[in-house]
Amino acid sequence: MFEEDFDKLSRGEQGQFRKVLSDLLYHCYIVRRVYDRATKMNKVSPDYLFIERHYDLIGDYLSYAGMQINKDDDAGVVFLSSDDESNRIRVDSVTTLVLYALRSYYEDKIKDAPETNEIYCDSVSLKVLMKDLGLTAVSRRISALSLGAALRMLSMYNIVSIVRGSFSEPSYSFYILPSIRFVISNAKLNALYNAIKNVSDGGGDDSFPPASSDEGGNN
């Protein structure tokens, strides 16, 4: 029983349990390695380690709310899912295009660095990437401000992590986290590609719809 197992935790562990659950419900994703701006190093997340130690207990608690906890050890990502998809969010068209671009960039770069799960990117590289993929022609809404807003939203869900500057500034750098692979399924990625191609071929900006991201894991 959950109550019995929870009571076996120390008072400090019970406090950390509440904190980790709050973070997981708010961010949807917890990644194993997080960037520490103070030391300028990637460090193992205490929250991730706590989840590893108490994975079944956390799963039991979440089951009361009809949610499941999932963990991918290779990627180092913990995420939530639910049968009724209640933890799914809708994102606007610019954020959808940014997600598509970052996922493409991540998959391209990870092939050259299979030993890492975090991929470095910066504001200049992102703007070049958006142009090279033809995405700036897809939406007239893409600007420095809208890109920054999209990245701020993604950082809330531990999909990107700021390294230098801030997403409100003209120049910044960030890590694309392995959680990017669980936001949008491969099937939806292909559907996005087809939608983008349709707009590029003359479908018009208004024909490109906002996407519903697979927050909490892809299916």
pLDDT, tens only, 2-39: 999 999 999 999 999 999 999 999 999 999 999 999 99
Q: Is there a domain that residue 101 lies in?
A: yes
**In terms of domains, do 8 and 78 share one?**
yes
Q: Which residues neighbour 208 within 8 Å (Cβ) at sequence distance 6 or greater? A: 93, 96, 138, 139, 195, 196, 199
Domain stop point among 54, 82, 110: 82
Q: What is the pLDDT of residue 20?
A: 97
Residues 72 and 149 in one domain: no
200 and 104 co-located in one domain: yes
| Domain assignment present for 218 | no
Q: What percentage of the chain carries pLDDT values higher than 90? A: 68
Domain encompassing residue 151: 89-213
Same domain, 62 and 100: no
Q: Where are the beta strands (DSSP E) in 102-177?
A: 119-122, 160-164, 173-176
pLDDT at 207: 47
Say if residue 218's pLDDT is above 80: no
Please report the pLDDT score of residue 138 as a whole number.
84
> Confidence class of residue 219 from pLDDT cuts 50, 70 and 90?
very low
136 with 77, same domain: the answer is no
In tens, the pLDDT along 102-122 reads 999 999 999 998 889 999 999
10 within some domain: yes
pLDDT, tens digit, for every residue of 62-91? 999 889 999 999 999 999 988 776 556 678
For the chain, how many structural domains are there in total? 2
Of the three residues 50, 82, 114, the one that is the final residue of a domain is 82
* 130/140: higher pLDDT: 130
In a shared domain, residues 107 and 192: yes
Q: Are residues 50 and 95 in the same domain?
A: no
Do 138 and 177 have their domain in common?
Answer: yes
Confidence at residue 188, expressed as pLDDT on a 0 to 100 scale: 81
- Provide the 3-class DSSP secondary structure of residue 70: strand
State how far the Cα of 31 lies from the Cα of 160, in Å rounded to an integer.
Answer: 10
Last residue of a domain, one of 29, 47, 82: 82
Residue 89 has a pLDDT of 66
Residue type present at position 170: P
- For residue 208, is it within any domain? yes
**Is the pLDDT at 101 greater than 90, yes or no?**
yes
Are 104 and 185 contained in the same domain?
Answer: yes
Q: Model's pTM, two decimal places?
A: 0.88
Higher pLDDT, residue 197 or 208: 197
Let me know whether 95 and 74 are in one domain: no
